[in-house]
């Protein structure tokens, strides 16, 4: 793990997120980058976590002068997650928000009978075990800090509800993430820790670019699918993040309006 900071002073003023500290995993691209930039523009101090430092720097540069900390970390490695949160607390003093976003599709389109165990394990380690490790670290900090509490938002997926063909690892981890969200939400109540989940369908990122060209449907056809602006996802996450801790969006679904999700299959 290494860090690159543009932190300066953390002080109030400039927006409803001012003076609050967020950790965004998978912040070097896609949804993570969009959410991190949205929070930075809203006055949050943001720790940007990812496996490569340069993309994290590029994310920080989208909002020049905003207080940020780039931390190279693999969320599937317990020691990296421990070091990540130690660096954030050392720099900013507390954690008010974790956006648990890092994830991977894995080998899409591979029938389950042909799926290598290593591929399954990689998706589980990143999407589920990584989410748990980050949530546990955030939970520990939020429970002990003063003022107590904070918020965790898990990035689920519409695949937390309905699978695509040949997507067993991804779908299984996203269903499991819903259970983790519910359990953390319940266990966090005594400590003012609010936990919710955003389920996203076809935000326009590099990961979903192939869907615009054609995605395999349940009937075997390959059909181009609509996408939506990732900025709309970022604004939704910020809305969830900036609610008072007495209010919580437990689950939110944000998707391209005409994508084949409702009635999929």
Which residues carry out catalysis?
170
8-state DSSP, 57: H
Helix pair 130-144, 78-92: axis angle to 10 deg: 30
Q: What sign results for the dihedral spanned by CA atoms 172, 228, 220, 119?
A: negative
Q: Shortest CA distance to 155 belongs to which of 86, 88, 222, 207?
A: 207
Task: Give the pairing of strands 68-72 and 3-6.
Answer: antiparallel
Cβ of 94: how many Cβ atoms within 10 Å? 18
Tokens of 199: 């389920």
Q: What is the Cα–Cα distance from 134 to 77, expressed in whole angstroms?
A: 10
């Amino acid at each position: 793990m290494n860090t690159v900071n543009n932190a300066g002073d953390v002080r109030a003023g400039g927006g409803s997120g001012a003076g609050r500290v967020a950790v965004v995993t998978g912040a070097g691209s896609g949804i993570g980058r969009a959410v991190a930039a949205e929070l930075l523009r809203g006055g949050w101090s943001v720790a940007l976590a990812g496996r490569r430092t340069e993309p994290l720097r590029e994310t920080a540069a989208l909002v020049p002068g905003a207080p940020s900390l780039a931390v190279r970390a693999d969320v599937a490695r317990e020691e990296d997650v421990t070091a990540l949160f130690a660096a954030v607390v050392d720099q900013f003093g507390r954690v008010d928000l974790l956006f648990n976003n890092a994830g991977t599709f894995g080998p899409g389109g591979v029938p389950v009978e042909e799926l290598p165990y290593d591929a399954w394990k990689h998706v589980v380690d990143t999407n589920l075990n990584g989410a748990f490790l980050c949530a546990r670290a955030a939970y520990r900090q939020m429970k002990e800090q003063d003022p107590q509490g904070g918020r965790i938002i898990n990035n689920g997926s519409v695949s937390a509800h309905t699978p695509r063909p040949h997507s067993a690892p991804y779908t299984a981890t996203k269903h499991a993430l819903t259970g983790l969200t519910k359990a953390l939400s319940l266990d966090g109540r005594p400590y003012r820790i609010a936990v919710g989940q955003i389920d996203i369908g076809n935000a326009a990122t590099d990961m979903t670019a192939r869907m615009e060209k054609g995605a395999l449907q349940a009937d075997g056809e390959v059909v181009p699918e609509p996408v939506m602006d990732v900025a709309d996802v970022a604004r939704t996450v910020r809305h969830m993040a900036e609610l008072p801790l007495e209010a919580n969006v437990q689950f939110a679904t944000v998707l391209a309006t005409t994508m084949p999700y409702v009635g999929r299959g």
